Structure 1
Amino acid sequence: MCNWPRVLVWLRALVMLALAGTVQAESAPADNPKPLPDDLSLPLPCDGELVFRYVYVLAKGTLDDREVNLGYPFSDDDPGYRQSFISGYRRDYINGQFVLDDLPADWQARIAPALPKSGADSLLKPMFYFVGKYEVTERQYALVMAQEAALAGQGEAPACAPMNDMSARLPKVKLSRLEAERFAAVYSAWLLKYHRDRLPVSGRGKAAEDGGMGFVRLPTEVEWEFAARGGQAVSRQALEARLFPRKVQGSDSDGPLGDWAVFSQVAGGTGQGARLLPIGLKNPNPLGLFDVIGNAAEMVQESFQLVHAGRRQGSYGGFVVKGGNYLEGELTLFTGMRREYPLFAADGSEQRNATTGFRVALGALSAPRSRYEELFEQWQQEGRLAGLTDEIEAAEDPTQLLDSLIASSTDPNLQARLARVNEELKRNVSLIARQREEAAGNLIQSAALVAETVNNYNIRLTNLKKDRDQARAAQDEATAKLYETAIANGRSALEGALAIYIDNLANGTRYTDAVIQAQFQRTREELNHKPVLGKSLVARATLFVRHVGQFRQQRRADPETILKELLGP
């Protein structure tokens, strides 16, 4: 027999829980429902705010960049395999436009503690860009666009109207790419008029006109995807995974995607029961970005290009939409997902989708006049053979000598031919330099692992010696002999690993000290992402770089001294 009073109590409890969740969601700040300690924000009209997350790339400067892989290398049984020409694996490059000093003082104070530790002699520095923490909401879009007429000198801005219900937190959809860009333009104009001091300035100098004033725009596709994958917050391996890491406290496994993304729960993604949800209801990605997968798909700045032979193909189409939407099925979603839409519908109107919204980024001039000197100096250093080895002095660099020959030639045809040869030479040298930089980074990681292996062999030898001594004390000579054999094998293995380590020292001197130091910075950041071995490997990589410097000066290494330092505290 059914116990109706108990059922009613149970139903009432469920209703109260649901209402409590709704009240909690509605009481959260509309513009930042899930605050994080290092959030960065810009003001919106009517006391609103638009919150950003910072992304950085360790680079030598503005002209440097980081190679990244976008998309996904589908196998023939993956759901997306037959559309590899849309979202397949491809190479691209990323860098930020701002250094720490370019940012407002309060932004600097918020993010500086979390940055990699570096000294005045560090060759690499964080280059920042900024991406919206959430998709732009209905409320935010309305607040900004209400200012358009007033900014154009057509009357006063309307009074602020309350928009506190949950619908105000829904991502803004059903707008065209041109309307998303118009939002960015109006918001930029409003910020520049009323809150100019809150914007970062690329190449910020002492004078007010120095540098490139920040402005709001759509993120580029590589900016969007690098950030969506986790950016500097994840390891290189995780950065190239199908989905960004979804860590669950107390577990080594990723959590269910449904805790991070809004998508159709019906098998096959038919869209039944799926709907757009307010921002901030799910968990953020490792960088603190919400809803980069599912919910509203997101427009980016570039026109669409096909994927061809691991790169973007040369023709340009409609606009790119990233991340998938709430109608997608779980199996079809991945971080690098992209689609192409036309700018205009069949009836000639601007294309608008009920599943497509956007988030914004901050941009600025890449080459403000205040950075001309720095950029020219970096450009001059590109493609120089002296950058590949310490054995060539800058004055004796063949590319430098070729520059002089071109400048002194009085034959215009010869000058043009030599200039083409020179540029091709520099291009190839730059390519070799990038390959050598990557090889140097791999060498440092490999040497750190070898050093860890040496230490592990030593621990095993120590334990074997204890066991041998115990066997001897028990007058068990047969067992003691077995341990002696194991000790001999272990000692041989340790000596072999030590020899490999010293060979790595010699190989390290084939790279310039600048390359070793720069790649050590990158390697240190990568190793810090490893939760178990990271700290130990960073210490061993640090020692290896010091040993390379000593080997560079002395042209030799004493195995006993090296071993003692490897096994030291």
Structure 2
Amino acid sequence: MDIEFSAIDGGTVELHDARRKIRRRVELEPFEIGVYAVTQSQLGELLGEATDDGLSHPDRPATDVSWLRAIRFCNAASEWEGLDAAYSYDGEQVTWHVDSDGIRLPTESEWEFACRAGSTAAQYGPLADVAWTSLDGVTSPQPVGGKHPNLNGLFDTLGNTWEWCWDFLDPARYDDYRVFRGGGYADDTWSVRASVRRGGAPRMHHEDVGFRVARGGFDAEDAAQGWSARADRERATNEGPTPFGWTPLR
């Protein structure tokens, strides 16, 4: 089982928190990220859970994969490669060991920086050339690598399938929902942009949500690459402005 990675140099990316009307600049250290989304065949090979679709379409991105299942895949891939696991579990509570060199999900800062590949536009190229979207009229995810890559050599970061990241979506409103990014094969163009954020509960799975993996450990504790446990706790509060019609958790 082989996962191809692209080495991403460090740099700066700006993220937007729409609810709190905050823009923040994140300084990133170098890391690696998958050239392709994890495929059906890779998921089946490591977790032994190949679907019928995976048997007939092994090069399609693995979809209907929950965030928790993606985490399981990461630890299995680390074990396969002889690396320290990036994650440990306490029930469904997952801890990221930031100093681990194991395979993991990207933070959303890493994901957006790698997706943009130096572009400040909504997309890094014409969608017809770089992304499977509703414009193509397809009815399922397409085999990975069928469109042009971005300047980091990454395929399908926009379109084809949404991709899980490590981060919480908005814990004050959505509790344990995790972020997915990038847009899918059935999405309209306004949704297939480098900055668009959506998310779901860790056990949720959808026909257009998959994931790609990252790699890289950091000399820190509970904080790395735009994420920190402290920031998660702060974002779980209801302080600050809220959108019209917004209902916080009770």
- Residues 320-331 of structure 1 mapped to structure 2, 5 A cutoff: 320-331=179-190
1:178 paired with 2:123, answer no
1:364 paired with 2:207, answer no
Q: Which residue of 2 aligns with 1:391?
A: none
1:189 paired with 2:189, answer no
CA distance in 2: counterparts of 1:283 and 1:290, whole angstroms:
7
CA distance in 1: counterparts of 2:19 and 2:7, whole angstroms:
31
Residue of 30, 41, 47 corresponding to 1:139: 41
- Residues 169-248 of structure 1 mapped to structure 2, 5 A cutoff: 169-192=59-82, 214-230=101-117, 234=118, 238=119, 240-244=120-124, 246=125
TM-score (norm 1): 0.33
Deviation at 1:356, TM superposition (A): 0.2
Unaligned runs of 5+ in 1: 1-43, 58-65, 73-83, 97-127, 149-162, 197-211, 247-255, 267-271, 307-312, 344-349, 369-569
Deviations 1:302-345 (A, max 9, x none): 11128xxxxxx8985411010111110123321111102123xx
CA spacing shift, 1:130–1:320, aligned 2, 3 Å: same
Residue of 7, 11, 15 corresponding to 1:70: 15
Deviation at 1:143, TM superposition (A): 1.2
Deviation at 1:241, TM superposition (A): 1.9
Q: Which residue of 2 aligns with 1:282?
A: 147
CA spacing shift, 1:265–1:367, aligned 2, 3 Å: closer
> Are 1:220 and 1:300, in contact at CA under 8 Å, matched by a contact in 2?
yes
Deviation at 1:54, TM superposition (A): 0.9
CA spacing shift, 1:314–1:277, aligned 2, 3 Å: closer
TM-score (norm 2): 0.72
Deviation at 1:51, TM superposition (A): 0.3
1:55 paired with 2:8, answer yes
Identical-pair percentage? 30
State the secondary structure of the residue aligned to 1:299: strand
Q: Which residue of 2 aligns with 1:263?
A: 133
Deviation at 1:258, TM superposition (A): 1.1
CA spacing shift, 1:71–1:187, aligned 2, 3 Å: same
Larger Rg: 1
State the secondary structure of the residue aligned to 1:180: helix
Residue of 267, 292, 298 corresponding to 2:157: 292
CA distance in 2: counterparts of 1:219 and 1:67, whole angstroms:
15
CA spacing shift, 1:316–1:164, aligned 2, 3 Å: closer
Q: Which residue of 1 aligns with 2:244?
A: none
CA distance in 2: counterparts of 1:52 and 1:352, whole angstroms:
25
State the secondary structure of the residue aligned to 2:76: helix
Partner AA of 2:42 in structure 1: Q
State the secondary structure of the residue aligned to 1:85: coil
Deviation at 1:213, TM superposition (A): 5.4
Greater RCO, CA 8 A, separation 6+? 2
CA distance in 2: counterparts of 1:325 and 1:178, whole angstroms:
20
Runs of 4+ in 1 over 3 A off after TM superposition: 163-166, 313-317
Deviation at 1:175, TM superposition (A): 1.4
- Residues 436-475 of structure 1 mapped to structure 2, 5 A cutoff: none
Partner AA of 2:153 in structure 1: G
State the secondary structure of the residue aligned to 1:331: helix
CA distance in 1: counterparts of 2:175 and 2:184, whole angstroms:
23
State the secondary structure of the residue aligned to 1:181: helix
Q: How many pairs does the alignment contain?
A: 203
CA spacing shift, 1:185–1:265, aligned 2, 3 Å: same
Deviation at 1:243, TM superposition (A): 1.5
CA distance in 1: counterparts of 2:176 and 2:129, whole angstroms:
34
Q: Which residue of 2 aligns with 1:90?
A: 23
> Are 1:69 and 1:89, in contact at CA under 8 Å, matched by a contact in 2?
no
